[in-house]
Amino acid sequence: MRTLADLSICFAVVMAGTVPAMARPRTLALHVMERSLPVESMRTSLYSYNPATMIMCDSLSLSELSVNGDMSRYDEAYMMQLGRGHTLLSIKAESYMRLSRNSVVWGDAGFTTGNNRDIRWTDCVDYLKLAPYVLGDAVGGDMSTRRYEFGGGWATGAGRWMFGIHASYRASVDYRNRDPRVKTVVSDLKADMGAAYSLSGNYSLGLSAGIEVYNQNCDVDFYNPMNDIDTYTLTGLGTYYARFMGNTNKNSGYDSFGFNLGMQLVSADHSGWGAAVAYEGYRMEQLLRNFNNLTLGYSDVHELSALTSYRIKMSPSFSIMPEIRLAMSNRRSTENLFGNAAGGSYPKIGDRSLYRHDNLEGSVAVAMQIGLSEGSVLSAVPSVAYVRDHERYESPERDVDVDHIGPVIDLVYSKLAGDWLWHAGIGGSMSFAGTKSAVFREMDMSSDLGKCVMHNYRMLASDRMSGTLSAGASRYVDGLLVGIDITYYTTSFEHHGSCHGASATVSVKF
Amino acid sequence: MKKVNLKNWVLLSAACTMFAVSAVSCDDDDSVTYYDVTVNDALPSLPSAATLQSGTLTFTELNTGNIVTIDLPATGQLNIPAGTYNIEGNMTVKYVDNGVDVEKTLRTVASQVVVSANSTLSLDWFFYNPDNTLVFGEIYLAGTLNATGKSGLYDSYFTIYNNTDEVLYADGLAICESKLLNSQDLEITSVDNFIANNFTAQTVYVIPGTGRDVPVQPGQSIKIVDQAIDWNQQVEGALNHTDADFEWYDEVTTGSVRDTDNPDVKNLDKWYSYSKTIWLPSQQCNRSYALVRFPEGMTAERFVDEQSCTYTWLTAAGKEMSNDTQKLIKYEWIIDGVNLCPTEVWKRNALSATVDMSYKAISDKNQDPNKFGKKFARKVSGTSPAGNVILQDTDDSANDFEVVSAKQ
No. of helices (H) and no. of strands (E), chain A? 5, 21
Rounded CA gap, A271 and A310, in Å?
Answer: 7
Give B27's contacts in chain A (Cβ within 8 Å). 332
- pLDDT confidence of residue A29: 78
Would the CB atoms of A349 and B83 count as touching at under 8 Å?
yes
Would the CB atoms of B405 and A338 count as touching at under 8 Å?
no
C-alpha distance from A388 to closest chain B C-alpha (Å): 15
pLDDT band at A375 (very low <50, low <70, confident <90, very high): confident
Nearest beta carbon to residue B116 from set A201, A330, A350: A350
- pLDDT confidence of residue A277: 96
Do residues B279 and B263 touch, judged by C-beta distance below 8 A? Answer: no
pLDDT band at A16 (very low <50, low <70, confident <90, very high): very low
Rounded CA gap, B92 and B103, in Å?
Answer: 7
For A241, the closest chain B residue by CA position comes to B64
Q: According to the per-residue pLDDT averaged within each range, which of A15-19, A59-63, A378-382, B397-401 is highest?
A: A378-382
Give B61's contacts in chain A (Cβ within 8 Å). 242, 337
Condensed to tens digits (0 to 9), the pLDDT of residues A31-41 reads 888 888 888 88
- pLDDT confidence of residue A408: 97
Of residues A289 and A304, more confidence is placed in A304
Mutate to test the interface with A, among B8, B16, B64 (most CBs of A within 10 A): B64
Q: Under 8 Å CB-to-CB from A147, ≥6 apart: which residues?
A: A110, A111, A112, A113, A170, A171, A172
Mean pLDDT, rounded, for B339-350: 93
pLDDT band at B301 (very low <50, low <70, confident <90, very high): very high
Give A243's contacts in chain B (Cβ within 8 Å). 62-65, 343, 364
Would the CB atoms of A242 and B63 count as touching at under 8 Å?
yes
Of residues B87 and B258, more confidence is placed in B87
- pLDDT confidence of residue A17: 40
Mean pLDDT, rounded, for A311-315: 88
Check pLDDT > 90 for residue A473: yes
Give A341's contacts in chain B (Cβ within 8 Å). 344-345
- pLDDT confidence of residue B5: 55
pLDDT band at A6 (very low <50, low <70, confident <90, very high): very low
* Chain B contact for A342 (CB, 8 A cutoff): no
Condensed to tens digits (0 to 9), the pLDDT of residues A414-455 reads 998 888 889 999 999 999 999 989 999 999 999 999 999 999
- pLDDT confidence of residue B3: 47
Check pLDDT > 50 for residue B160: yes
Give the least confident one: A72-86, A461-475, B205-219, B362-376.
B362-376
Of residues B93 and B407, more confidence is placed in B93
Q: What letter represents residue A252's amino acid?
A: S
- pLDDT confidence of residue A79: 95
Mutate to test the interface with A, among B63, B87, B231 (most CBs of A within 10 A): B63
Residues 306 to 365 of B: which have CB under 8 A from any A CB? Answer: 343-345, 363-365
Condensed to tens digits (0 to 9), the pLDDT of residues B189-237 reads 999 999 989 999 999 999 999 889 999 999 999 999 999 999 988 888 8
Condensed to tens digits (0 to 9), the pLDDT of residues B3-20 reads 445 555 555 555 555 555
Do residues A139 and A180 touch, judged by C-beta distance below 8 A? Answer: yes
pLDDT band at A2 (very low <50, low <70, confident <90, very high): very low
Counting beta carbons within 10 angstroms of the beta carbon of residue B320, is it exposed (0 to 12), middle (13 to 18) or buried (19 or more)? Answer: exposed
Rounded CA gap, A207 and A52, in Å?
Answer: 9
Residues in chain B: 408
Mean pLDDT, rounded, for A132-137: 93
Check pLDDT > 80 for residue B26: no
pLDDT band at B140 (very low <50, low <70, confident <90, very high): very high
Do residues B376 and B338 touch, judged by C-beta distance below 8 A? Answer: yes
Do residues B382 and B394 touch, judged by C-beta distance below 8 A? Answer: no
Q: How far is CA B291 from CA A477, A486, B139, B159, B333, in A?
A: 88, 74, 12, 11, 9
pLDDT band at B296 (very low <50, low <70, confident <90, very high): confident
Of residues A26 and B257, more confidence is placed in B257
Domains of chain B: 34-127 (2.60.40), 134-405 (no CATH)
Mean pLDDT, rounded, for B318-340: 93
Condensed to tens digits (0 to 9), the pLDDT of residues A201-242 reads 889 999 999 999 999 999 998 887 666 788 899 999 999 988
